[in-house]
Structure 1
Amino acid sequence: MNPTCPGPTLGVVGGGQLGRMLAEAAAPLGVDVVVLDPTPECPASRVADQVEGAFDDPDAVRELADRADALTLEIELADPDVLASVGAELDVPVQPSPASLRTIQDKLVQKRTFADAGVPVPEFVAVGDAADLEAAVDTFGGCMLKARTGGYDGRGNVPVRPGDDYDAKLAEVGAGDGGAMAEELVDFERELSVVVAAGADETRAFPLAENVHEAEILRETVVPARTDTAVAARARDVALDTLDTLDGRGVFAVELFETADGDVLVNEVAPRPHNSGHWSIEGATTSQFEQHVRAVLGWPLGDTGLRGTTVSANLLGDVADPTTAALRGVEDVYDAGDAHLHWYGKREARPLRKMGHVTVSRADADPTELLDAVRGLRDGLTFTNSDAADQRAEPDSPQ
């Protein structure tokens, strides 16, 4: 569809922080956003309209499509069959394609698709029961066990070593009737990602990002990645080859391993904006969120160039139990001058729940020194009610 201003309405399956940031990026383009989410007053509802309903509810998806000129998603729990059926029924385009979502939702199918196309991936096998898992452990000398569907932020993934209780490990990942997949344990130097925007007539890749994980949860992203130019070029080529196996427009995040000998292997792909691309809001000429809006609508893509060395650090719930979200220490971020705090609008802080992120972008900065600086800012933020936190001066709130 041709760009206009005001523009069309975009329907998004999912109303979490990604939907919120999509709506924030869409607004300056004149694009209104309606999200579908089962959570009343979901984070995106502060900046977009909401249809309240399950991600796979045909009636709710139909209501979303009835209010939109195009459909996309910010969560893989969307039902590809429902999206395809409703899109065809109401003549509303769905991007990326439901077929790509179907491929990506099943990690075993995803890996087989990439491997069949010659995309480099870790060795893997299907696992249906404890005997299969034992055989995989024997073959690989230990493995990463992954539920085929539903896992995210480390959920559904667990390392398995020889002699472990294999039935218990299968239960831990929630393999269920869908089975699981076992991958070799990759000896990697660093975890990387390339966010790629597939448009109507062109494909543009963002600079290579380095991702720092702890307990399977992304903690920080550093751009440019602290690796050599050969690895960066190889990672870009692999990411683009990976996208050739998938259909449809939009932003795709290709997560990668850089191995100890300099090879690059594809870990997983997300068919949507991704946590490892949040840095692009301040650090790139065009953010991943604006690119996604442009791409799914078939509009020209923006420049993906890097504005400066950029580090983004996730703000996770540092509480022992769920509690009303009240963030302390934000004045230190504001005092930093060049730091940017992004609040996701979640009412409740939970242990390790993603509540926001902090980004700093500086021209010609040393990546490691900037990472240390951003960590210091992030670590000064807390949801706890400790005496130290209570002694911080808090700004007056209208609520």
Structure 2
Amino acid sequence: MANYFSTSFTLGILGGGQLGKMMLYDTRKFDIKTHVMDPNPDAPSKIAADFFETGDLMDYNQVLQLGRKVDVLTFEIESVNVEALETLEKEGKKVFPSSATLKKIQNKGVQKQFYKTHQIPTADFQLFNSKADLNEAIIRKEVSFPFVWKSLTGGYDGKGVSVIKKQEDLIPLPDVACMREELVDFKNELAVIVARNVAGEIKTYPVVEMEFHPTANQVEYVLSPARIDDAVAQKARDLAMKVSSSFEHVGLLAVEMFQTSEDEVLVNEVAPRPHNSGHFSIEASYTNQFEQHLRAILDLPLGATEQKCAAVMVNLVGEANHQGNVFYENMEEIMRLPGVTPHIYGKRETRPFRKMGHVSIIGENIEKARSLAQDVKEKIKVISR
């Protein structure tokens, strides 16, 4: 086994946002040297990386140059140049998750076709090259309302997704390659984090339940463990393992799912990296998701995924009418509450619904933690001053 600790071994990370910053906590814990690239010269990861450089993650040459300076390359965001990753792999560089995995996930249409090919249950869908093609299909009555519209690329945090109830709802949407997805009658949105190392060892975290903001289409609360029957939880974990094995990914894979009204479990989409739905693990799990990602990509033994206690995560997002230098109102008040830990991402400027941090709330049972999370959500405000 390679010696990664207190040596010249260097881990490269493409993307320097909050996920990269939180991953760096664990590289610091293990004394693993890091080199991070991000387009933002003041990216959150800058504070904790051994080497930080400003660069375009979609630029072939810049990604190639960074990859050649490091021993293993990973990423904390899917919008990176896949061709550069492919070249690096041909040169013998270790890239995890692989370019082949990322290629199947970056485009939501390719991702959905992949599920179909591998008989992974997912909502019914149709793909369109443009808005005009979709409008034509509606006129020909090949598409009926309501449905979910998704942009095939570039969507995140609720962007690139809209519920379409009538044809006029399409007018403000961009003219891009898109998908019509069946509107699923679900009772819960669930997620499972799967870890898989280079040797093929695989583990899943407990199923989490996600509560969404009604208008921003962003996760507001993540509850772990999910308040669902054991049989449904087992079905979700088994399905997540099937998805992981099908992608043959290395690292972390966040599998987002719907629990239907008939208790079937459908895969919505996946992210091949640490994920918002796994932040609860920092305080509540034996091995947090960021350490687990490092263990997986460095082919170290995977850590235990069991939870020490119940946990709820609250996303801290910018208030609707605020833009400018950020101020966290009532921070001291929430820090007086038992089991409450804020995580501030290091973004100096707030804007409406921008993810600025999260708060973990741990407790002896999920109902108490959820109630405390409500208090936190009502007290803390992310505003500008």
Query: Shorter chain as normaliser: what TM range?
Result: over 0.9
Aligned residues: 377
Give how far 1:248 is off.
3.3
- Using the size of structure 1 for normalisation, the TM-score is 0.90
Q: Which residue matches 2:147?
A: 143
Give how far 1:247 is off.
2.8
Correspondence for 1:63 among 52, 62, 65: 65
Give how far 1:341 is off.
0.7
Answering whether residue 94 of structure 2 is matched by residue 96 of structure 1, we say no
Answering whether residue 124 of structure 2 is matched by residue 123 of structure 1, we say yes
Unaligned runs of 5+ in 2: none
Q: Which residue matches 1:164?
A: 167
Give how far 1:376 is off.
1.0
Letter in 2 for 1:183: E
Give how far 1:336 is off.
1.5
Q: Which residue matches 1:182?
A: 180
Give how far 1:384 is off.
3.0
Assess, with a 3 A threshold, how the Cα gap between structure 1 residues 371 and 132 changes in structure 2: closer, same or farther: farther
Q: Secondary structure at the match of 1:245?
A: helix
- Using the size of structure 2 for normalisation, the TM-score is 0.93
Letter in 1 for 2:102: L
Write the distance in 2 (CA, Å) between the matches of 1:338 and 1:78: 37
Q: Secondary structure at the match of 1:373?
A: helix
Q: Which residue matches 1:205?
A: 204
1:372-391 alignment runs, 5 A limit: 372-384=371-383
Give how far 1:56 is off.
1.6
> What is the root-mean-square deviation of aligned Cα atoms in Å?
1.8
Assess, with a 3 A threshold, how the Cα gap between structure 1 residues 308 and 133 changes in structure 2: closer, same or farther: farther
Unaligned runs of 5+ in 1: 387-399
Answering whether residue 222 of structure 2 is matched by residue 221 of structure 1, we say yes
Assess, with a 3 A threshold, how the Cα gap between structure 1 residues 248 and 3 changes in structure 2: closer, same or farther: farther
Letter in 2 for 1:191: E
Write the distance in 2 (CA, Å) between the matches of 1:137 and 1:236: 38
Letter in 2 for 1:51: E
Assess, with a 3 A threshold, how the Cα gap between structure 1 residues 167 and 385 changes in structure 2: closer, same or farther: closer
Write the distance in 2 (CA, Å) between the matches of 1:225 and 1:333: 24
Give how far 1:3 is off.
4.3
Give how far 1:137 is off.
7.3
Q: Secondary structure at the match of 2:277?
A: helix
Write the distance in 2 (CA, Å) between the matches of 1:206 and 1:224: 9
Write the distance in 1 (CA, Å) between the matches of 2:198 and 2:76: 19
Assess, with a 3 A threshold, how the Cα gap between structure 1 residues 348 and 183 changes in structure 2: closer, same or farther: same
1:171-320 alignment runs, 5 A limit: 172=173, 174-176=174-176, 179-201=177-199, 202-214=201-213, 215-320=216-321
Give how far 1:219 is off.
0.7
Q: Secondary structure at the match of 2:74?
A: strand
Write the distance in 1 (CA, Å) between the matches of 2:79 and 2:70: 20
